[in-house]
Structure 1
């Protein structure tokens, strides 16, 4: 029954009176479904929060509860949610800054716009987890101050914060100009030297694999450097010093930076770890000479990443598609191609190149229709979902290429109802095409009934508003709980059936 009520709570056609009745049945699992309803009124929201206290938090985030509705003593988590949205009074912030519950102080520390006195209280909190949360979200001046905190986890949080001043991030990265950290989460709970066993049998252990401390807080400082390298506010010159670091994790973080100096990019292009080279290959800062050099990389993942680079030269891209598979997607460089480049690609003698441009959805009509008539099935499948194709053209695609283009044709927004009915009856069947029909806005009752025979399309068809109301009602007792939930959420479900579900619930 619970899955039926989840679906019913999401049903856009559920009358207000039945929403009221569903609120009276709500529990902690059902409440979030109700809280997300766009038509939930203030009275209903208050009733739901009073019945299920956990619901007050999503209701506050959704803007269904205001400060006047919330007593911070009764609903502290909802009050914190309002503070997180910037919709709670300052008095609440001062209240929670000294709350005995550490989790509440930590939640408060992540809230925006805190007054200076509250920031000072949280910065002096005895729990490093609270201070770390503050350091992660604090404004620049506070983040800079907390970067010198004696606990490594607070410094790590400051390294995450993009508001931390660049000079401070450089100091966190290199350690220069900052006093050494005195504590980390390893040495505060274990006798050093200590190396955490990756197969640690302790069920309550919160340490990560590889955590270690010999008094120098090695693993914590390594994680801090990895984080600082990934922070775009960290100065590029300070980051570039790690291009030759023995740690692959640090070089991975560095390879993704778009502001790397040329010498660091060249070094990473020759990195012995293929994954680092593949990360670099997706870096938008790569210049044309390096893109051309990396196109000869022996690793297919590197070449695939290059194919997705927004500035890869077209001649390099067309060569890449002969040696690697970039996926059936519109590549950024193809999306940015000029009309002249697009025309040249569409006229290429290589079907793999024509398939690249066939993924565009803004092709001139003549070019689109020419690609739809292409003798190569991959080209035809790529262009099949293009809006504007006529029914005759779509039927010709199916006649020419059969099952290989069915899914693309079914995904075409202009596919007419009669064609969708024919697609689900096609022999042989393409299950992906059946799923596309089941979610198509133009699907007819006849097409949807056929889709119910496919186990993966069945939940999609059960939720489709064109499904006959009597069929939607019959699916409320389906053996598959996903289908039952989808049927309960179907806006065509008869109101009488909705009321029956609530009586049974």
Structure 2
């Protein structure tokens, strides 16, 4: 049996306790079960712990999926590897996991953020500094002046408040925090030039975001060897549109002549819009509705406070990603949302789907079932009320894309899902195994065929 099918079953939200326990007989599948959302039954935790694998125990701690009773038993587990992994997991997360939120950190250690920031252990203070975005001025300054250098460094981030002026020199000297400080620190012309010549492209890239750059520094950045530094400075808010266009045209000419860096500058300039425009006042954002650069128009299209006439223009933009960004606003016309799905489909880079849009007209989905395009046809099973006979027909479609959509369908009956478990395309069978409408009997039969006791 394809391992992908069993992995999908491990993530099925409707899988009962006995199925999860049997899956845990396999060490790899136990890891998949261990990262399920929510609290796991104690018997499942026991089955995972039976592998005596520290990585699995640490994963259980990270997910917060163990009951208080079972947590105490793991802390007293007779096998040293299990016991040590459980007791050491929180500290391991603090050192290595930079994606904890301050709320998760509070829950993990059982104390409020204000106490975490003053904790006697510098590892915990550093974790608080790293995770706590938007601390009070007093708390932030205390972390920035902490006696431990790892805490001070952790308190500097693009998402943190700016470092006060009197503390900026220290963090500019630190190569780890210099890229962040280069974005806004008070700089002399000499300091600005030194940063523009720094060997680290992240420092030069940070400097390219600085709102106040001397002309000589800006000229250096226009010829920087790193393409993203050039893109950032060419998108700088202080640049007049005529000058921006001139610089862009020079890059295009250089790219046409074979300059590889210029080729990448042109490509990235068109893909990534400027961050400063996202938070600019409405009047300034509206000034870019007619920008010759799609990346600028796309940033404006993500705004959710534009007047109706602005949205009307963006809805008719010649570039799909601009229209798409505007159409994701909650009050987009249903016909527009449906047309974008039908003509362009969902983005492969996001789990969000156009049928999730609050204004998507779900009543049209059944009309897709006979569409000649397999991609459009695959949207029909998203209709939870699609007739069983239509689903049965689509489940035998020549296209695996369509069959996979049936396997994921919210209205697909258990009988059809059972059949799709044996589909020759592994991704179709895996999708059927993940569907919560799959019968428990079919789940157990899968485990029987896989030889899991």
Q: Same fold (TM over 0.5)?
A: yes
SS at match of 2:318: helix
Post-superposition Cα deviations, 1:456-485, rounded to whole Å, max 9, x if no partner, equal 454343233422212211222223332222
> Are 2:31 and 1:81 equivalent residues in the alignment?
no
Post-superposition Cα deviations, 1:351-382, rounded to whole Å, max 9, x if no partner, equal 539995672444768xx47xx5xxxxxxxxxx
> Are 2:229 and 1:276 equivalent residues in the alignment?
yes
- Paired residues of 1:462 and 1:472 also in contact (CA < 8 A): yes
Q: Distance in 2 between matches of 1:303 and 1:291?
A: 15
> Are 2:75 and 1:70 equivalent residues in the alignment?
yes
- Paired residues of 1:20 and 1:44 also in contact (CA < 8 A): yes
- Paired residues of 1:424 and 1:437 also in contact (CA < 8 A): yes
SS at match of 1:141: coil
For these two proteins, the number of residue pairs brought into alignment is 359
Q: Distance in 2 between matches of 1:113 and 1:63?
A: 24
> Are 2:194 and 1:242 equivalent residues in the alignment?
yes
Instruction: Return the offset for 1:40.
Output: 1.3
1:218 corresponds to:
none
2:156 corresponds to:
162
**Closer, same or farther: CA 233–361 of 1 in aligned 2, 3 Å:** closer
- Paired residues of 1:159 and 1:231 also in contact (CA < 8 A): no
**Closer, same or farther: CA 414–337 of 1 in aligned 2, 3 Å:** closer
1:42 corresponds to:
42
- Paired residues of 2:182 and 2:195 also in contact (CA < 8 A): no
Instruction: Return the offset for 1:45.
Output: 1.3
1:472 corresponds to:
417
- Paired residues of 1:288 and 1:313 also in contact (CA < 8 A): no
Instruction: Return the offset for 1:250.
Output: 5.3
| Structure 1: runs of 5 or more not aligned | 87-110, 120-137, 147-156, 174-223, 373-382, 386-393
Q: Distance in 2 between matches of 1:20 and 1:360?
A: 45
1:421 corresponds to:
366
Scaled by the length of structure 2, the TM-score of the pair is 0.62
- Paired residues of 1:411 and 1:440 also in contact (CA < 8 A): no
Q: Distance in 2 between matches of 1:425 and 1:354?
A: 26
- Paired residues of 1:57 and 1:81 also in contact (CA < 8 A): yes
> Are 2:298 and 1:331 equivalent residues in the alignment?
yes
Scaled by the length of structure 1, the TM-score of the pair is 0.57
**Closer, same or farther: CA 483–67 of 1 in aligned 2, 3 Å:** same
Q: Distance in 2 between matches of 1:232 and 1:477?
A: 57
Match of 1:346 among 312, 318, 333: 312
> Are 2:179 and 1:229 equivalent residues in the alignment?
yes
2:448 corresponds to:
503
1:320 corresponds to:
292
Q: Distance in 2 between matches of 1:235 and 1:500?
A: 64
**Closer, same or farther: CA 77–333 of 1 in aligned 2, 3 Å:** same
Instruction: Return the offset for 1:70.
Output: 2.1
Q: Distance in 1 between matches of 2:409 and 2:206?
A: 47
Instruction: Return the offset for 1:306.
Output: 4.8
1:294 corresponds to:
244
Q: Distance in 1 between matches of 2:304 and 2:17?
A: 51
- Paired residues of 2:394 and 2:402 also in contact (CA < 8 A): no
SS at match of 1:278: helix
Q: Distance in 2 between matches of 1:364 and 1:117?
A: 48
1:190 corresponds to:
none
Q: Distance in 2 between matches of 1:412 and 1:434?
A: 19
2:436 corresponds to:
491
Match of 1:463 among 405, 408, 411: 408
Within-5 A mapping of 1:61-210: 61-65=62-66, 66=71, 69-71=74-76, 73-75=80-82, 76-84=84-92, 115-116=120-121, 140-144=145-149, 162=156, 166-173=168-175
1:254 corresponds to:
206
Instruction: Return the offset for 1:167.
Output: 3.1
Instruction: Return the offset for 1:275.
Output: 3.4
**Closer, same or farther: CA 464–241 of 1 in aligned 2, 3 Å:** same
**Closer, same or farther: CA 306–482 of 1 in aligned 2, 3 Å:** closer
Larger fraction in helix: 2
**Closer, same or farther: CA 12–160 of 1 in aligned 2, 3 Å:** closer
**Closer, same or farther: CA 113–306 of 1 in aligned 2, 3 Å:** same
**Closer, same or farther: CA 420–248 of 1 in aligned 2, 3 Å:** same
Q: Which has the larger radius of gyration?
A: 1
Q: Distance in 1 between matches of 2:379 and 2:303?
A: 28
Q: Distance in 2 between matches of 1:43 and 1:113?
A: 38
- Paired residues of 1:346 and 1:357 also in contact (CA < 8 A): no
Q: Distance in 2 between matches of 1:31 and 1:422?
A: 42
> Are 2:343 and 1:404 equivalent residues in the alignment?
yes
